């Protein structure tokens, strides 16, 4: 069975929305505390800012914002994954954001 290539733009937007929803549900509680003295606050804030920029980058003609946001989400996910000890639970909880960041780093808006 051949893939339905006409659905690719919808799939890309669903990935953007999935990244936004996953990151907001994971990190919004930390940002809401306004604990400016912790590293986790700034990492969570960066995740939220770059996920919004990833979403906004989909509306732009060039893919620079999407690629940079994907790169930073990918790097932040790796940092969180290895920060404070490496456990299977951390890998499993951070792998979706790592994969989404890497996808948009590699493909940009061209999917």
pLDDT digits (tens, 9 = 90+) for 88-100: 998 899 999 999 9
| Residue 108, pLDDT score | 86
Predicted TM-score of the model (pTM): 0.88
Segments of the chain with pLDDT less than 50 = none
CA-atom Rg of the chain in angstroms: 15
Summarised one tens digit per residue, pLDDT across range 70-92 is: 999 999 999 999 888 888 998 89
Report the C-alpha gap between 90 and 84 in whole angstroms: 10
Residues 6+ apart with CB under 8 A from 38: none
Q: Rounded to a whole number, what is the largest CA-CA distance in the chain?
A: 54
| Residue 111, pLDDT score | 57
Residues 6+ apart with CB under 8 A from 68: 53
Q: Are 70 and 53 in contact (CB under 8 A)?
A: no
């Amino acid at each position: 069975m051949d893939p339905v290539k006409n659905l690719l733009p919808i799939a890309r937007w669903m990935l953007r929305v999935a990244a936004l929803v996953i990151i907001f549900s994971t990190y919004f509680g930390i940002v809401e505390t306004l604990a400016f003295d912790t590293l986790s606050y700034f990492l969570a804030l960066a995740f939220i800012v770059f996920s919004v920029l990833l979403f906004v980058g989909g509306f732009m003609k060039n893919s620079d914002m999407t690629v940079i946001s994907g790169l930073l989400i990918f790097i932040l996910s790796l940092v969180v994954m290895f920060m404070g000890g490496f456990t299977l639970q951390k890998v499993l909880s951070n792998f979706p954001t790592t994969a989404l960041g890497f996808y948009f780093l590699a493909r940009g808006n061209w999917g």
